[in-house]
A and B are shown apart, each in its own frame.
Chain A
Amino acid sequence: MTANLSINSSSFKRFQSLIALLLLCIVLSIMTDKFFTPDNGLNVLRQIAVNICIATGMTLIVLTAGIDLSVGSILALCGALTAGLLKNGIEIPSGDLYVGFTVLGAVLGGLLLGWLLGWFNGFVITKFNVPPFVATLAMLTIARGFTMLYTQGHPISNLGTSFAFIGSGVWLGIPVPVWIAIVVVLLAVLLTQKTRTGRYIYAIGGNEQAARLSGININKVKIAVYSIAGALAALGGIILTARLDSAQPNAGISYELDAIAAVVIGGTSLSGGKGSVWGTVMGAVIIGVLNNGLVLLNVSPFWQQVVKGAVILLAVVIDKMGEKKDN
């Protein structure tokens, strides 16, 4: 009897965010004409693709009981680097050397930088035992500073149509950024649910001591997770840059908070070990739909922020109440 009840309540918990999302969509469909149209649907998905990329990386980190505040700045720096490589290449004045980049080369360059910055976060956190909050807060400022240095404070624009395709293209009726987000999510779901590394991520967040005693190389897993999150932030930066056809030096400010919001609304516990990439996708979609709906309803931008905050709070409170019942 009790076993039955617990299965029911846990399956309800599992679909809690999906149910919330459906309710939200039904309400918005009734209240506005424009919401329930294919165009608007794709529009919402295109808007949240960047956040999904970042939030997926964030989920991996939060599952290990960490946090990454630097993703917004990494996004900006890697977006700028990609744009810069594409437009100006690398010139070495002394040697009269010029290296040009194809779109693929520039994108890989941006991703590599994101990976390295994330790796550095992970390295500092594990090697010097710096709390993730502090280490990534420092990286937030450092990467933003380098973005300003690299761009000299000016946008890098007019990057060509083939690069713009990454942000604005459509394939099989679905925007390219959405395709990218789908691939990222699928890979992350596979990683977390089907691989050894995925298990280690959950184990470290669930009980780091027990994980260590089980012979898991904790530092290695953590560094990998921060590196992946860095690369995914870079990917978000590349999509954003391509969509705007311009790398903005102040792109991505406070994006880390949107990502954390998606993770939290998706039911991943900030204390680690509990949650899923799937939940984060739900969280990101809920935030996206909410933003879109509030705009369609002509709610003032100031009120939009209040509503968004209230939703985050509500999601977490409901989650905590469920937890108490479990125990």
Chain B
Amino acid sequence: MLIAKNISKKFSGVTALSNVTLELHPGKVNAIIGENGAGKSTLMKIFSGVHTQYEGEIILNGRTVHFANTREAEEAGIAIIHQELNLVPYMSVAENIFLGREITNRFGMVDNTQMNEQAKKLLNLLHLDIEPETKMAALKVGQQQMVEIAKALHTNAGVIIMDEPTSAISDKEVDQLFAIIRKLKEEGKIIAYISHKLKELFTIADRYVILRDGVSVDEGNMEEVSPDELIHKMTGRKLNFEKAGKSKANSEELLQVNQLNLKHPLLRFSNILHNISFTLYKGEILGIYGLMGAGRTELMECIFGLHPKNASGEIRVKGKPCSIKTPADAIATGIALVPEDRKLHGLILNQSIRNNISLTVLRQLEKWGLMLNAGKEMALTDNYINRLAIKTTSDRNKARSLSGGNQQKIVLAKWLATNPQILLLDEPTRGIDINAKAEIYKLIKSLANEGMGIIMVSSELPEILAVSDRVMVMWEGEVTAIIPGEDATEAGVLTHAIHKNEVAL
């Protein structure tokens, strides 16, 4: 039995887990359920020795353990199958399976023959028709996922943690995986299974543990619970944000997206987005909610011209069809995108606040089309620093030196400077403190009141409900619902995000 007792974990002041207590039983598939950001992955990373700083106790088979690194966790018999693939593409399947645990002969040389033989056995066990010498890069994503699973199995671990193992594999492979999970169960292993797919959970899981906002709220047997009850338990929290007054959306159509499709860059016949159609009105805030992999970010990227090759469909701005092939086209059309990852895509961290804010509008700051007008630039940045209340001693400070909330304001400023009519916000409040969040909500509201059309993607349901005039729900690349703000409830939105219809079948 694997027991977590009063586990708490903070990331630079932000609580990720708070007094989590739960049990994972041997010979059972323990489903770990929760919304995005509920703390599932953090907890699994503590189990597997990725996070080493935490409060509380982990008890494995009666002994308290505290792993200093992933190696120690592996030696204690805990294996994790990560959501993201951790494989070396140009090494063979066998080499990947044995990575870090290579079999050596008595001269200390790697024994490829042995490794290939053992790998073959493992692959057969999984009904995988792959030669162990094949390079990883030659496999399909689903096959790679199965190799990742093989890698976890070969360590002969007593505890196997699977984080969204079916996100990239076909139905047939899912069946094979489930067959293996059942076998592992019979062997008395402890299996922790994280998934958003309720249908899967009701097929394979025996027990459930529910996390909500970093707190363990309930556990029990799958047989004794219905999908509706589960959803209720996942969301049964009070609203953190009051519903602010609605912005004055009017009926003037600003952005129309018709039959937007996005092809998968690797898998030829699968789509990331299927036939997305919706309308954004002038002065409206459209919230987009969906779970991991719903395609929200990709939708924003398509509108912003980041997938010119793989995307198809029609985008109209104020009724006029637009061909947006690059971010520059999007900006010229009056569209701005505040990206999901501000450090990776939003900011140049080592450069000044001023340079970051003015980057999108340098052309307008030129004198005689030649030199930059420093005075104009300073006026621009000062204006936004005041307007958005960016806390800094000077606009020459590096973006890196600011807090997350202030960094996010810089990204907002650089996009507001382009004077957009359509503002796309992808997780605009991720990782920032509560005060900065409130300020950003206020700003979004006032922008909408001035007539801007705003799309806000968020993983935080309360945020979506508090800010949106309408809520669009996505699931696996499709739009499953568009709900007027006043009718949207947590359970209602989440039901569409999980696509409960599927469960009912």
A interface residues with partner B (beta carbon < 8 Å): 3, 190, 194-196, 199-200, 202-203, 206-207, 209-217, 273-274
Contact = CB atoms under 8 A, between A and B. Distances in A.
Contact of A206 (B345, B350, B363, B365): B350
A206 B343 CA distance: 11
Contact of A195 (B304, B330, B370): B370
A212 B327 contact: yes
B359 A199 contact: yes
Interface string B348-373: 11110001001110110110001110
Contact of B348 (A3, A190, A195, A206): A206
Contacts of B337: 213
Contacts of A211: 348, 359
A215 B360 contact: yes
Given A195-B370, A195-B372, A199-B372, A207 B327 contact: no
Contacts of B393: 3
Nearest to B305: A215
A274 B351 CA distance: 8
B331 A195 contact: no
A195 B369 CA distance: 9
B485 interface: no
Interface string B181-204: 000000000000000000000000
Nearest to B347: A210
Contact of A273 (B328, B350, B363, B414): B350
Contacts of B359: 199, 203, 211, 214, 216
B327 A210 contact: no
Interface in B186-237: none
Interface of B: 304, 306, 326-328, 330-331, 337, 339, 344-351, 355, 358-360, 362-363, 365-366, 370-372, 393, 414
A214 B344 contact: no
Given A194-B372, A209-B345, A216-B328, 15 more contacts: A196-B363, A199-B355, A199-B359, A203-B351, A203-B355, A203-B359, A206-B349, A206-B351, A207-B349, A210-B344, A210-B345, A210-B348, A215-B328, A215-B360, A273-B351
Given A195-B372, A209-B344, A214 B355 contact: no
Nearest to A6: B401
A210 B346 contact: yes
A264 to B, nearest CB: 17
Contacts of B371: 190, 194-195
A200 B350 CA distance: 14
Nearest to B400: A327
B266 to A, nearest CB: 17
Nearest to A196: B362
24 contacts: A3-B393, A190-B371, A194-B371, A195-B366, A195-B370, A195-B371, A195-B372, A196-B363, A196-B366, A199-B355, A199-B359, A199-B372, A203-B351, A203-B355, A207-B344, A209-B345, A210-B347, A211-B359, A215-B326, A215-B327, A215-B328, A215-B331, A216-B328, A273-B348
Contacts of B306: 213
A213 B339 contact: yes
Contacts of B362: 196, 199-200
A203 B371 CA distance: 17
A178 B327 CA distance: 43
Contacts of B327: 212-215
A295 B362 CA distance: 48
B207 to A, nearest CB: 42
Contacts of A3: 393
A226 B61 CA distance: 63
Contacts of A209: 344-345
Contacts of A195: 366, 370-372
A207 B337 CA distance: 17
Contacts of B366: 195-196
Nearest to B398: A326
Nearest to A207: B348
Nearest to B338: A213
A195 B377 CA distance: 12
A202 B339 contact: no
Nearest to A272: B350
A8 to B, nearest CB: 14
Nearest to A194: B371
Contact of B414 (A202, A214, A217, A274): A214
Nearest to A199: B362
Nearest to A198: B372
Contact of B347 (A194, A207, A217, A274): A207
